[in-house]
Chain A
Amino acid sequence: MSTVGPTAEERHALGGFERADLRRQLAVVIALVRRALNEITRVPGASIPGVLAPTIFVIGLSSVFGQADQVPGFGAVDFKTFVVPVGFLQAAGFTGAATGVNLARDIEQGWFDRLLLCPAPRLTVLAGVVASAALRCLLPVSFLFAVAMTIGVDFPGIGGLLIALLLIMGLASAFACYAVTLALRFRTQQAAPLMQMGSFVGVLFTPAYVPKELLAGWLEAVATVNPVTQVLIGVRQSFVGETSWGETWPALLAVAGLILLFGAFAARGLRRYAS
């Protein structure tokens, strides 16, 4: 990463220091993302469970609870198609939690403290950590998608798939912010169960297994106020029917809200950690 400032031509062309600063910050974000992605190839043993788990969960649930689609009111969709989007959201959750655990490890080993000594804005460092989660979640998602196509789940269409990917990456970023907040607070990998629990509750306390109308009263009430329900509906829409703006915008809004909320917590956590 270069530390040389912008040239006079650059300043003139870009309207001052802002764009050059932005470029340098982007370089920091890219470097941190590349570091996180390198872990996948250099320590594959650590990432394999996270890649396999959502697929195992979906296939397992389909095998065990597959007959649930026979319950009156379930609709014409088969169970495995119904739960594949849940697996995608779990991939986002696992990746977000793994991001927090990796940060806790970096804190334990002193690497994160050295990173904070770099002349890069702290929010840029946070952005790099979170952006890596958004990209890393594509690995378990791609694996699950390939398996889903193999076992007979219908292709959701390019548009539906792109909307689903956008929502999943956004949700992974939100879960990563949540896990990063915990990592900065507890500063130990032993907080991993807390990180995983947040995403577990977020994803499964939704109409994960059956339509909302078939949920028990208390779970229906929780699912109604859980913003991840909107994300699940947005990801699921193209698998079980047509893609519509009416189901897309609440999902986008929910993801944006979650990122803003947990991003603010993470930024505050980083400020406190650094001070």
Chain B
Amino acid sequence: MIPVVLALARRAIVGNLRRPQFLAPLVIFPTMFLAVNVGGLTSTTGLRGFPKVDGFLDFQLAGALTQSLLLGGVSTGIASALEIEGGFFDRLVASPIPRFAIVLGRLLAASLVAGIQVLFFLALGLAFGATIKGGVLGVLLILLIGMIAGIGFGAIGQAIALRAKNASTVQGIFPLVLVILFVSSAFFPRDLLSAPADSIARFNPLSYLADGLRDPIISTVSWQPVLEGLAAAVGISVVAMGLSVLALRGRLRDA
């Protein structure tokens, strides 16, 4: 099964590289949003209750990362839907390979793309004056959480694609991505969110994911937020992969 997973992952990566216009929005939109947030709201770090940070950019990097990873999930979903629309998925199903490998191949590629996204935003932050207080260990932890989350978000996109079977429906979940992101602490400290977002954010796994990504940037590594972020990423991935496998079974039953 491993060679099949690797081959499918390589195919997905090559496909991404050949159509960079699909990858570019994953970093361009979060980068622009990051620029606008930092440029417009930099004075909010002086508000009472705001954690001690060197600058608003340091705080916002985790928000941009989370947003980018979520968009990566949408992109994975669209790629899967295009494979279904184009008939490639049906040819894969008809071939003598484990069906779970079809799911895993695309998710491995999503995880690698997530790693690139993480490195891009960390490099961007460093270039514009952010500091990663957690050092090399911090970078590795951010990379780990990001790549696991990439699997989870990719699996959600894939599950939706397997159910919807067309790319435009997957594209339509974009507003939902914004909603989930806004009711988390990805962009602002949880204690400073307005009601009811502050209450919802406590139960939103994205809050823990973003806080886990943020901690190594704004402070030396504190294990509680990092482990919570890791647990959120693993939890999202396990549940989403389960949904993806169920969607695959449903699709095979229909076919």
User: A-side interface residues toward B, CB under 8 Å?
Assistant: 45-46, 48-49, 52-53, 56-57, 59-68, 70-71, 73, 190-191, 193, 197, 200-201, 204-205, 207-210, 214-216, 218-219
Contact = CB atoms under 8 A, between A and B. Distances in A.
A224 B46 CA distance: 25
Given A56-B179, A208-B36, A215-B39, A71 B44 contact: yes
A57 B19 CA distance: 29
B74 to A, nearest CB: 12
Nearest to A63: B197
A67 B49 CA distance: 11
Contacts of B44: 65, 67-68, 71
A234 B193 CA distance: 29
A193 B25 contact: yes
B79 interface: no
A231 B196 CA distance: 32
Contacts of B171: 49
A63 B194 contact: yes
A64 B188 contact: yes
Nearest to B189: A67
Contacts of A70: 47
Contacts of B32: 197, 200-201, 204
B83 to A, nearest CB: 16
Given A215-B39, A219-B36, A219-B39, A63 B175 contact: no
13 contacts: A60-B197, A64-B188, A65-B41, A66-B194, A67-B47, A71-B46, A190-B21, A191-B21, A200-B29, A201-B32, A209-B40, A214-B40, A214-B43
Contacts of B37: 209
Interface string B32-69: 11011111111110110000000000000000000000
Given A71-B44, A197-B29, 14 more contacts: A45-B168, A49-B175, A60-B178, A61-B182, A65-B41, A66-B193, A67-B192, A67-B194, A71-B47, A190-B22, A200-B29, A209-B41, A215-B40, A219-B39
Given A200-B29, A216-B38, A62 B43 contact: no
Secondary structure type dominating chain A contacts = helix
A213 to B, nearest CB: 10
Contacts of B38: 216
A193 B24 contact: yes
Nearest to A45: B172
A52 B182 CA distance: 14
A56 B173 CA distance: 13
A58 to B, nearest CB: 10
Given A68-B41, A193-B25, A214-B43, A204 B182 contact: no
Interface of B: 19, 21-22, 24-25, 28-29, 32-33, 35-44, 46-47, 168-169, 171-172, 174-175, 178-179, 181-183, 187-188, 192-194, 196-197
Contacts of A48: 172
A140 B172 CA distance: 16
B40 A53 contact: no
Contacts of A65: 41, 44, 187-188
A200 B36 CA distance: 10
Contact of B41 (A56, A210, A218): A210
Cβ-closest 6 pairs across A and B: A60-B182, A219-B39, A63-B197, A209-B40, A66-B194, A216-B39
Contacts of B169: 45
Contacts of A57: 178
A83 to B, nearest CB: 11
Contacts of A219: 35-36, 39-40
A180 B28 CA distance: 21
Contact of B178 (A56, A71, A207, A208): A56
Contact of B194 (A56, A62, A200, A207): A62
B179 A60 contact: yes
Contacts of B46: 71
Contacts of B42: 216
A194 B28 CA distance: 10
A204 B197 CA distance: 23
A219 B33 CA distance: 12
Given A65-B41, A216-B42, A193 B187 contact: no
Contacts of B41: 65, 68, 209-210
Contact of B175 (A56, A191, A197, A205): A56
Nearest to B168: A46
B170 to A, nearest CB: 11
Nearest to B39: A219
B197 A64 contact: yes
